[in-house]
């Protein structure tokens, strides 16, 4: 059966993905094999596939497919995150379009709408991952609000509360006035914005005079409870012990002293607003200042502001500025740029706010999580992130875990009519807790808040296998968690190294006594070709599904990996995917070439074909050793590039040309069988990166009839054999000889059909007789002779330490040849100088590895030999 002229990615993708699913190749159950486990960083149910997902999941799939082929019991657990803030915002927006306001619904009514939305839209991103070829165990798909996973969250809360690690208190939090909830640090996006710096006059309470204070937030002056100066600032010594009046409302506040104030910023005086600034809050605690919160949850001014009550905060800013100006209390206004936090989900400017919330004490839990990384039990790849991780963990702050939302796991705290509370799994247990504590109750109500989404996802590597162990460190766990946990690799983004990765390590230590994974591969940010982060707002992010449609899934996977070294941002351009598609086409066409050959079983194998087969066997083993080393070091981009060069350059451009029979002539059986074997090994090597193309070719009839389970996805991954270093070195010289002769042809415009005489002046032990068949076939030479003398009037070149002369029967341009040799001599003299300087450096010679020093000495000797040969050739031309 003939193979189609061109590769059809869509046809292969649809066919083989369905086949893999039907034959359960992705599914895993515990058995006697070594497990290899990855849990997916669960994408939000609100999400659709973007370029970051493409990169992250391509890397995961490469690792899983390779492990599966290595005979491991590979298990990649997929799932989605309920994403409290983002999902609730989506549902609220959907209801508004239907004319329904959230405030008009009961909690149960709203949650019904939310679940309906999740069922309709929540699985989109997972279906898109199938288009990429993700070989997840879809039978194990989990959702962070599955009933048993929600029970795990509840039990974890109760366990930590009873252990004294969860408490309720008033603290400064990031407040989203649009979402009307506290948000975590990782949900705050810092942006540089253009602002105004307002210079406001504060009248000194006793006597005449005033001081000027610069602020970007004049709308908060009504919440001021002090003015702070630096005790070392001589300009303001006269203010010590005095009071000033808050502009517009004339409330007296004290002047306090603290070295926190920067004397060279603004005017050197600082308004202290403990309720609306984190640093001011810390100052307030230190100096025992009162706290006046003038903002409602929606960001409008409340009655404590005394003026402009009900006004939205940014509208109030403009009106306050006008009132200050009218009162003669605004000295000047300047343009000013600064970093402002915005809610990742609603894009509202974050308001620092004192709020009664639930917190987890982090200091105790952070210590073992830090040790896992510092002692190498958890490897961060690349390790440049270790210092960042250490800094975070050594400066950890308590974690605000309560969210003022309805979508999520509700906090298991219960209140009586007096506001007293207990923590319990349900109302009945809460009643028992109240009675045991001697507290009366008529009615019990549950806390309205839900826990932070990260409080469920920090359990993810455990809860996907056995939720019952979460909150219960005494539990032994089921067969799944005892087999698959700890997992092997986690692939995620550096920006959630602390907010998710570190917390998973904490939870794993708490409930299983070990870290949840061995390696954390940290990807870079996908940027466009001019370095901008890809985003919808910039319009610079391509649709991944459209890319797959245009270039094929394999082409996109290759394109993503070619430009993605671990931990470094990648500058993505569609040309990488085009390169991936071209690579797929190259492999397809090479296969068509081999399949199209006629085989003659009676034909005797030529010596040149035997040499070619032996060389590529060694070259494959050499490359595979390097590729495996790259995989071991998680250098996936480098591993792919080595595979790319092996296939494109060594196999297609050299090996196939070496053994290709003459037009309409047959090939011998031994060479054909060896070539089929090479192709089969190449398909296995390529499969983790290019699963669809490789599976399609794997089942071609040229390999014989395959059994239904004999698929590339589970074919044994290649193992490197011996590589003859001498043979490989000699073949590099032979390839150089062929390339040089081809260059001479091109420069002299001599037809490839015209054979050229070749004279070899050998200064090395290479037996060129063994390679003359290859040289003749690929360079079309005749009358090959060996000589101890140079050949006058011939075009010459050096390969290794040997000299080669091609007689052009008077066609040689002596002047051009002299110019060429002179340029090469200039280069070699410069190269020799640099090597000599390196070798004369005693520190280098003493500290470098012996093999590196020896390699430099070989470079020096080779350069010296080539210079000698070229100088002699130049003399002959003169």
Among 257, 252, 294, 298, residue whose Cα is nearest residue 274: 294
Q: What angle do CA 272, 273, 276 make, to 5 degrees?
A: 145
Do the Cβ atoms of 667 and 702 come closer than 8 Å? no
Model confidence band, residue 207 (pLDDT cutoffs 50, 70, 90): confident
List the single range of 364-368, 518-522, 848-852 with lowest mean pLDDT: 848-852
Helix locations, 384-426, DSSP H: 386-394
Class of domain 814-878: mainly alpha
Pairing of strands 599-600, 667-668: parallel
- As given in the structure block, the two tokens for residue 34 are 């070594």
Do the Cβ atoms of 503 and 454 come closer than 8 Å? yes
Model confidence band, residue 537 (pLDDT cutoffs 50, 70, 90): low
What span, in angstroms and rounded, lies between the C-alpha atoms of 464 and 480? Answer: 9
Angle between helices 9-22 and 691-698 (to 10 degrees): 80
What span, in angstroms and rounded, lies between the C-alpha atoms of 374 and 380? Answer: 10
The whole-number average pLDDT for the span 32-57 is: 92
List the single range of 477-486, 686-695, 796-805, 848-857 with lowest mean pLDDT: 848-857
The answer to whether the annotation marks 90 as part of a ligand binding site is no
What span, in angstroms and rounded, lies between the C-alpha atoms of 573 and 243? Answer: 61
Q: How would you classify residue 426: left for phi > 0, otherwise alpha for psi between -120 and 50, otherwise beta?
A: beta
Q: So what's the pLDDT on residue 565?
A: 72
Homologous superfamily, domain 181-352: Valyl/Leucyl/Isoleucyl-tRNA synthetase, editing domain (3.90.740.10)
Q: What's the chain's average pLDDT?
A: 92
Say which DSSP state 220 is in.
Answer: G
Q: Where are the domains of the chain?
A: 181-352, 566-704, 724-812, 814-878
Model confidence band, residue 877 (pLDDT cutoffs 50, 70, 90): low
Say which DSSP state 783 is in.
Answer: E
CA 793 to chain centre: 59
Phi, psi angle pair for 299, to nearest 5° = 90, 5
Model pLDDT for residues 270-314, shown as the tens digit of each residue: 999 999 998 999 999 999 999 999 999 999 999 999 999 999 999
3-class DSSP assignment, residue 678:
helix
Say which DSSP state 255 is in.
Answer: E
Do the Cβ atoms of 599 and 666 come closer than 8 Å? yes
Give domain 724-812's CATH number out of 1.10.260, 3.30.2320, 2.20.28, 3.30.70.
3.30.2320
What span, in angstroms and rounded, lies between the C-alpha atoms of 453 and 457? Answer: 7
How far are the Cα atoms of 409, 562, 631 from residue 625, in angstroms, in the given order?
49, 19, 10
Q: So what's the pLDDT on residue 214?
A: 93
Q: So what's the pLDDT on residue 472?
A: 97
- Count CB atoms within 10 A of the CB of residue 602: 7
3-class DSSP assignment, residue 756:
strand
Q: So what's the pLDDT on residue 838?
A: 85
What span, in angstroms and rounded, lies between the C-alpha atoms of 324 and 320? Answer: 6
Do the Cβ atoms of 379 and 505 come closer than 8 Å? no
Q: How would you classify residue 586: left for phi > 0, otherwise alpha for psi between -120 and 50, otherwise beta?
A: alpha
Instruction: Give yes or no for residue 189 having a pLDDT over 70.
Output: yes
Q: Give all strands of the β-sheet with 252-257 in edge-to-edge order.
A: 243-245, 252-257, 226-229, 269-272
Instruction: Give yes or no for residue 749 having a pLDDT over 80.
Output: no
3-class DSSP assignment, residue 569:
coil
List the single range of 69-73, 354-358, 789-793 with lowest mean pLDDT: 789-793
Fold of 566-704: Isoleucyl-tRNA Synthetase; Domain 1 (1.10.730)
The whole-number average pLDDT for the span 361-375 is: 97
Instruction: Give yes or no for residue 865 having a pLDDT over 60.
Output: yes
Of 609-613, 791-795, 842-846, where does the model show the most confidence? Answer: 609-613
The percentage of the chain sitting over the pLDDT mark of 70, rounded to a whole number, equals 98
Residue identified by tokens 């279906």 is 127
Q: So what's the pLDDT on residue 809?
A: 65
- As given in the structure block, the two tokens for residue 815 are 């002047």
Model pLDDT for residues 622-637, shown as the tens digit of each residue: 999 999 999 999 999 9
Residue identified by tokens 């497919």 is 65
Q: Give all strands of the β-sheet with 399-400 in edge-to-edge order.
A: 181-183, 166-176, 351-360, 399-400
Q: So what's the pLDDT on residue 811?
A: 53
Do the Cβ atoms of 805 and 758 come closer than 8 Å? yes
Helix locations, 136-250, DSSP H: 147-162
Model confidence band, residue 590 (pLDDT cutoffs 50, 70, 90): very high
Q: So what's the pLDDT on residue 810?
A: 53
3-class DSSP assignment, residue 398:
coil
Among 408, 536, 532, residue whose Cα is nearest residue 48: 536
pTM of this structure: 0.84
Q: So what's the pLDDT on residue 137?
A: 98
């Amino acid at each position: 059966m003939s193979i189609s002229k061109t590769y059809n990615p869509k046809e292969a993708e649809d066919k083989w993905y369905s086949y893999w699913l039907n034959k359960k190749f992705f599914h895993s159950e515990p058995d006697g094999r070594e497990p290899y486990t990855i849990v997916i960083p669960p994408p939000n149910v609100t999400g659709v596939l973007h370029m970051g997902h493409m990169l992250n999941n391509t890397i995961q799939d490469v690792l899983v497919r390779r492990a599966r082929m290595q005979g491991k019991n590979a298990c990649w657990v997929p799932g989605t995150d309920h994403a409290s803030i983002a999902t609730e915002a989506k549902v609220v927006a959907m209801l508004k379009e239907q004319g329904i306001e959230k405030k008009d619904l009961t909690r149960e009514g709203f949650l019904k709408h939310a679940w309906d939305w999740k069922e309709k839209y929540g699985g989109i991103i997972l279906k898109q991952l199938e288009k990429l070829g993700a070989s997840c165990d879809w039978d194990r798909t989990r959702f962070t609000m599955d009933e048993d996973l929600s029970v795990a969250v509840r039990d974890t809360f109760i366990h930590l509360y009873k252990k004294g690690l969860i408490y309720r208190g008033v603290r400064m939090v990031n407040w989203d006035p649009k979402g009307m909830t506290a948000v975590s640090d990782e949900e705050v996006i810092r942006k540089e914005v253009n602002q105004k710096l307002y210079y406001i006059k504060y009248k000194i309470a006793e006597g005449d005079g005033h001081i000027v204070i610069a602020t970007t937030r004049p709308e908060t002056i009504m919440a001021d409870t002090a003015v702070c100066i630096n005790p070392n600032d001589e300009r303001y010594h006269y203010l010590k012990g005095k009071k000033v009046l808050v502009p517009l409302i004339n409330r007296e506040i004290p002047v306090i002293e603290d070295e926190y104030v920067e004397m060279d910023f603004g005017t050197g005086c600082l308004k202290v607003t403990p309720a609306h600034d984190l640093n001011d809050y810390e100052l307030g605690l230190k100096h025992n200042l009162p706290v006046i919160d003038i903002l409602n949850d929606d960001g409008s001014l409340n009655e404590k502001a005394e003026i402009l009550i009900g006004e939205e905060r940014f509208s109030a800013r403009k009106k306050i500025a006008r009132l200050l100006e009218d009162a003669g209390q605004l000295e000047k206004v300047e343009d000013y740029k600064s970093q402002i936090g915005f809610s990742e989900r609603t894009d509202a400017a974050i308001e620092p706010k004192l709020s009664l919330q639930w917190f987890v004490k982090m200091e105790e839990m952070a210590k073992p999580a830090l040790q896992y990384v510092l002692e190498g039990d958890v490897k961060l790849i690349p390790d440049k992130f270790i210092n960042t991780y250490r800094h975070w963990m050594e400066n950890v702050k308590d974690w605000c875990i309560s969210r003022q939302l309805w979508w999520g796991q509700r906090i298991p705290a219960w209140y009586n009519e007096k506001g007293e509370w207990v923590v319990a799994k349900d109302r009945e247990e809460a009643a028992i807790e109240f009675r045991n504590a001697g507290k009366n109750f008529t009615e019990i109500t549950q806390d309205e808040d839900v826990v932070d989404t990260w409080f469920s996802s920090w359990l993810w590597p455990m809860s996907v296998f056995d939720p019952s162990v979460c909150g219960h460190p005494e539990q032994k766990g089921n067969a799944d968690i005892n087999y698959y946990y700890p997992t092997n690799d986690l692939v995620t983004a550096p920006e959630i190294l602390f907010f998710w990765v570190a917390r998973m390590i904490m939870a794993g230590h708490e409930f299983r006594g070990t870290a949840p994974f061995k390696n954390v591969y940290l990807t870079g940010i996908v940027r466009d070709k001019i370095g901008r982060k890809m985003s919808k707002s910039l319009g610079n992010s391509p649709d991944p599904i459209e890319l797959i449609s245009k270039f094929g899934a394999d082409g996109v996977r290759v394109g993503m990996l070619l430009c993605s070294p671990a931990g470094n941002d990648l500058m993505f351009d569609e040309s990488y995917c085009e390169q991936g598609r071209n690579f797929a086409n190259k492999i397809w066409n090479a296969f068509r070439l081999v399949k199209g050959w006629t085989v003659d079983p009676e034909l005797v194998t030529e010596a040149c074909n035997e040499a070619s087969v032996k060389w590529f066997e060694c070259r494959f083993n050499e490359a595979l050793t390097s590729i495996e080393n790259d995989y071991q070091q998680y250098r996936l981009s480098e591993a792919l590039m080595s595979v790319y060069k092996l296939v494109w350059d060594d196999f297609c451009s050299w090996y196939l040309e070496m053994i290709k029979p003459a037009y309409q002539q047959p090939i011998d059986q031994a060479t054909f069988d060896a070539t089929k074997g090479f192709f089969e090994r190449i398909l296995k090597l390529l499969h983790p990166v290019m699963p669809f193309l490789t599976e399609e070719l794997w089942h071609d009839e040229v390999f014989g009839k395959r059994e239904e389970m004999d698929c590339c996805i589970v074919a044994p991954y290649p193992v490197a054999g011996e590589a003859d270093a001498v043979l490989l070195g000699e073949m590099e010289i032979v390839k150089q000889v062929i390339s040089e002769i081809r260059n001479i042809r091109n420069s002299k415009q001599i037809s490839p059909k015209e054979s050229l005489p070749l004279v070899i002046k050998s200064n090395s032990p290479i037996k060129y007789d063994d390679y003359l068949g290859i040289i003749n076939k690929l360079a079309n030479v005749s009358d090959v002779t060996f000589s101890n003398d140079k050949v006058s009037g011939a075009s010459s070149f050096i390969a290794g330490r040997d000299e080669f002369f091609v007689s052009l029967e008077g066609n040689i341009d002596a002047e051009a040849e002299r110019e060429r040799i002179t340029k090469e001599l200039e280069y070699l003299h410069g190269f020799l100088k640099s090597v000599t300087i390196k070798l004369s450096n005693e520190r280098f010679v003493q500290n470098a590895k012996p093999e590196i020093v020896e390699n430099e000495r070989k470079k020096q000797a080779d350069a010296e030999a080539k210079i000698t040969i070229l100088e002699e050739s130049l003399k002959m031309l003169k």
